[in-house]
Amino acid sequence: MSDVKIAVLQFPGLNCEDETLRVLDFAGLTGELVRWNEPGSRLADFAGFVVPGGFSYQDRVRAGAIASQSLLVEALVREVEGGKPVLGICNGAQILVEAGIVPGTEPGRVDVAMARNKVEGRDGYNAQWVFVRRGETAKCFFTEELDEPFPVVIGHAEGRFVSREPGFLNHMGNRENRTLYYCTPEGDEAQSYPWNPNGAMGALAGLHGLDGQALAFMPHPERAAWLWQVPEDIAGSWGERRRLAVGQPIAHAEGPGLAMIKAFNRLSKVESV
């Protein structure tokens, strides 16, 4: 077990905190829950942060909107602006976007929204496996060691990145500037459903903020952290690995989502990113 301590922030209505703690443990990290009503000063004890998925405050007003105004997020901003990494997963991603941490091009400015899913022929909540890959020029603490399209799970109703900020839109026009985007199993940018599961602009699945130490990621890496979580019929190399493992003891075999979590282990070598 590493001595790198990661705080998992909990707000009322989040529901992925336990599995997030388990995956931190699987990655060799020390995870600890910090509740919304604890003093923000507690965050100083941690090297990094995860804001997990769920439905904070029942998604009232908008997903992530109420939690993003909280004093705990204020404290999180101070820690992250000081260089510590934060990973927002699903509702956690929505909270980081609503708080202006991502993309964070101007301090605190909110440049992106997470709109309701909108794809041809369907809307509302959607849960499925997707493929994701990173843009080559996007510098993000959590994606540096991701080297191939990987399968991961989504489950959301409001996960479509949208923006009216011209500078941001222009930057996102180049696919390689996108931190993480939905793709086909072969790695081509997803053009439509089902590979782009929510209609996000530029097929954005994840967006980094500040100097790369913040990542808002709509899919759930913790639901793809073990190989046994990967469906046997999925395409690509991870599907092949899963099929080869049928009948084998794979309780501790790593899945495609773990690499993103393991990025925190680099904090044992450097004080901050």
Partner 1 sequence: MSTLSFLVRGRSVDLVAMTAFNTFKNTLGLGDEIVGLLRDDLFAIEGIDESAAETWVAACQAQQHWFNPNKHRYAAFLATDGAVACVRDDGSWPEPWLQSMVSSDRPDLESADVEDPRRAWIGVRPTTGAYAVPVVAWDREEGAGSLPGGDWPDGSLARIRGVVWTLVLRADRPEEASARAEGLVSTRARRQGLLVHPHMEGWTAWGAPLAELDPVS
CB of residue 116 to partner 1, shortest distance in Å: 8
Quickly tell me which residue has 């001595």 as its tokens.
Answer: 3
CB atoms within 10 A of CB 170: 10
Phi, psi values for residue 206, rounded to 5°: -150, 150
Neighbours of 17 (CB within 10 A): 21
Asked if 39 touches partner 1 (CB under 8 A), the answer is: no
- Chain mean position to CA 88: 5
Per-residue binding letters, 241-270, with partner 1 (x by CB under 8 A) = ------------------------------
Q: Which stretch binds partner 1 (CB under 8 A): 3-11, 27-35, 156-164, 171-179?
A: 156-164
Give the number of other Cβ atoms within 10 Å of residue 111's Cβ.
19
Return d(Cα 214, Cα 84) in angstroms, integer.
Answer: 8
**Cβ distance to partner 1 smaller for residue 143 or 198:** 198
Q: Which is nearer to partner 1, 17 or 98 (CB)?
A: 98
HSE-up (13 A, CA, CB side) for residue 151: 24
Which listed residue (43, 86, 112, 207) binds partner 1 by CB under 8 A? 112
- For residue 170, the minimal CB distance to partner 1 (Å) is 15
- The span of 16-24, 70-78, 186-194, 238-246 binding partner 1 (CB under 8 A) equals 70-78
Q: Supply angle C-alpha 25, 30, 33, rounded to 5.
A: 95
Q: Please give the positions annotated as active site.
A: 90, 220, 222
Binding site for partner 1 (CB under 8 A): 57-58, 60-62, 65-66, 68-71, 74, 77, 98-100, 108-113, 115, 118, 162-165
